[in-house]
Amino acid sequence: MITLTLPDGKKIQLPVKSTGLQVAMAIGPKLAQAALGIVIDGEVRDLSRIIEKDASIRILTFKDVEGKDVFRHSTAHILAHAIKKLYPEAKPTIGPPVEEGFYYDFDDLKIALDDFPKIEQAMNDIVNANHLFERHEWELADVKKFEGDNPYKVELAEDFKKKGWNLTAYRDGDFIDLCEGPHVPSTGVIKAFKLTKIAGAYWRGDQKNKQLTRIYGISFPSDKELKEHVKIQEEAEARDHKKIGKEMELYMLHELVGKGLPLWLPKGEIIKNAIEQFAIETEDKAGFERVSTPHLAKEELFQRSGHLPHYAESMYPKMVMDDGTYYLKSMNCPLHHLIFGHKPRSYRDLPVRLAEYAMVYRNELSGTLAGLSRVRGLEQNDAHIYCMKEQIADELKAVLQMIKNYFDVFGFKQYHFRLSRWDSKNSEKYINEPDNWEYSEEVLRKVLNDVGVAFIEAQNEAAFYGPKIDVQFKNVYGKEETLSTVQLDFAAKTRFNLFYVDKEGKENNEVFVIHRAPLSSHERFMAHLIEHFAGKFPLWLSPEQVRVLTVAERFEMEGQKLVNKLKEQGIRAHLDASMETINKKVRNAQLDQVNYILVFGEKEMQGQLSVRTRDNKVLGPVAVDAFIGQLKEEIKHKK
């Protein structure tokens, strides 16, 4: 007999060589029916695999993250099977589960969205056949025998063998594929699925390699769950910042400029400037000094900072000039370090807080770019705090409070904090200073606990020079993204010889740097803001706060005078004196998300305004000066 320990500590005994499915059945028939996989001593496995010895176990269902991964990875396998049936020349490469579903990359496959129904039908045929998923252990010779015409699978297998990993394959029906698994018991378990989009993707994420065809999809245990998901997706699409941004004319992208390089249109620039002014006022009160730095700098600077050794893949290629090699900056910090170090600093000067809204450039893969959420040119709400060791905690707490205050103003509620740590095994990604990593991570952990915010910890998510606190949001599609970040840097003091003169008059090299971007970049923050408000911006942010609609041509002059008076008071107002009907003008203003709409006619000539909101609420009559006063109060307090 073997003894298995359940998550609640309860122990059960089963015969030797029992499978995961037999374990699930022993616990209960309902669990066995819902089971998708099993975790044995931390390893996720197929239910069909034999349990060799005493172990801690956990049965996976679709409610578990790992269960969803098993389910959706199995759906990706079925997709690959269907593609090979329909397009025999296609070469499957990899098909992992991802947060929003699954994808599979193929070479030698040319398809369009119109082909999805045909592919989905082929997948349905495989599901209805209810083929068992059979796990096979392979050697390299087996890979070359079964996948010999697919160089991608052979390359993966050779890499896996070099790393000492075992090779496995999964068969369902007449299709077998090199795959790590695990998979659900049979294809019939996959009850509901939908293919969602096609994209380009480079093999192994390297733009030097061939571009493949990536097919995305989603799957669920029931049609009901799939339909609910589709409905949520439709609602999300209505709030998508790419859709609203185009409709409201906030920004644009153009192929002559390049992917991921947005152009801000007048209305978008108004919102962007309002956010930046808010940040400047907030940072001024918090003791930050503003600086400005160039868009590029010499190679030597980024060698010293560590960006070229550890971050080169995310930087734009070098530019060779007559006086040296230059790079577009991917971060502002190296230039801020030079500003801090340009003159001697006393301990009385610290902390020094340098702030800048500055453009930086990231060499993101074209397939990962998405509207404003992920771009190649971004304008960061950046700042660096240079402080002594004993000042770190207080400065971090002040930054976290600033972030929370910002979010209160914008009305953000759904977010969480993440302590992003290093991975000691990833020597290429991080500076190898274990003692500094341990100290810095503990400082951030203590500050988070002292501030009293809930947080999770994530390994291998730190910056290369130090751990960080990330503030995580989910976009309208449910995908998690980092919006704000606070990083503790222990490397800059050595690399840039940062020091201050202490009380004894000696140079002290213990200068710690806090990197912080509470409002992210204009681009990512605007994407989240558009989706959060669904384009219905509060008055202080709205690109058009008031629109005056004349009911006849003879009121145009007086209507313009009212618009001018509003503008003199700092209110963004426009006149619609077109020949459209008044109902059409009102509708146009509402579609443009104008906060307040003033119909201007005979009565309004007398100084009493009839006010309508974009949500069709009618207010008034109200005197002009009283109305202006109300607007200024609403703008001032950012209601």
What the block records as the tokens of 26 is: 């022993």
**Which residue out of 384, 418, 493, 516 is catalytically annotated?**
384
**Which residue out of 233, 380, 487, 593 is catalytically annotated?**
380
Q: What gap in Å lies between CA 112 and CA 100, rounded to an integer?
A: 21
Q: ∠ CA(294), CA(295), CA(298), 5° rounding?
A: 85
The β-bridge relationship of strands 55-60 and 2-5 is: parallel
Q: What gap in Å lies between CA 366 and CA 363, rounded to an integer?
A: 9
What is the crossing angle of helices 522-533 and 266-285, to 10°?
110
Q: 615: Cβ–Cβ under 8 A, 6 or more apart, which residues?
A: 590
Determine the 3-state secondary structure of 362 from DSSP.
Answer: coil
Please identify which residue in the block is written with the tokens 């989910």.
Answer: 474
429 is catalytic: no
State the Cα torsion 533-537-538-540 to the nearest 10°.
140
| Maximum CA extent, the chain | 96
**Which residue out of 73, 241, 267, 515 is catalytically annotated?**
515
What is the crossing angle of helices 65-86 and 116-129, to 10°?
110
Concatenated DSSP letters of 399-464: HHHHHHHHHHHHT----EEEEE---TT-TTTS---HHHHHHHHHHHHHHHHHHT--EEEETT-SBT
Of 145, 182, 164, 166, the residue nearest 59 (C-alpha): 182
Amino acid letter, 596 = Y
**Which residue out of 69, 382, 470, 576 is catalytically annotated?**
382
Sheet containing strand 37-40, edge to edge, reads 11-14, 2-5, 55-60, 37-40, 43-45
382 is catalytic: yes
Please identify which residue in the block is written with the tokens 């009283």.
Answer: 626
Query: Which CA distances in Å does 618 have to 300, 405, 511?
Result: 63, 33, 59
What is the crossing angle of helices 624-636 and 556-568, to 10°?
40
Q: ∠ CA(101), CA(104), CA(105), 5° rounding?
A: 140
Q: What gap in Å lies between CA 618 and CA 598, rounded to an integer?
A: 10
380 is catalytic: yes
**Which residue out of 153, 229, 241, 468 is catalytically annotated?**
468
**Which residue out of 81, 267, 307, 333 is catalytically annotated?**
333
**Which residue out of 362, 493, 522, 524 is catalytically annotated?**
362
342 is catalytic: no
387 is catalytic: no
The residues annotated with a catalytic role in the active site are 333, 362, 380, 382, 384, 468, 515
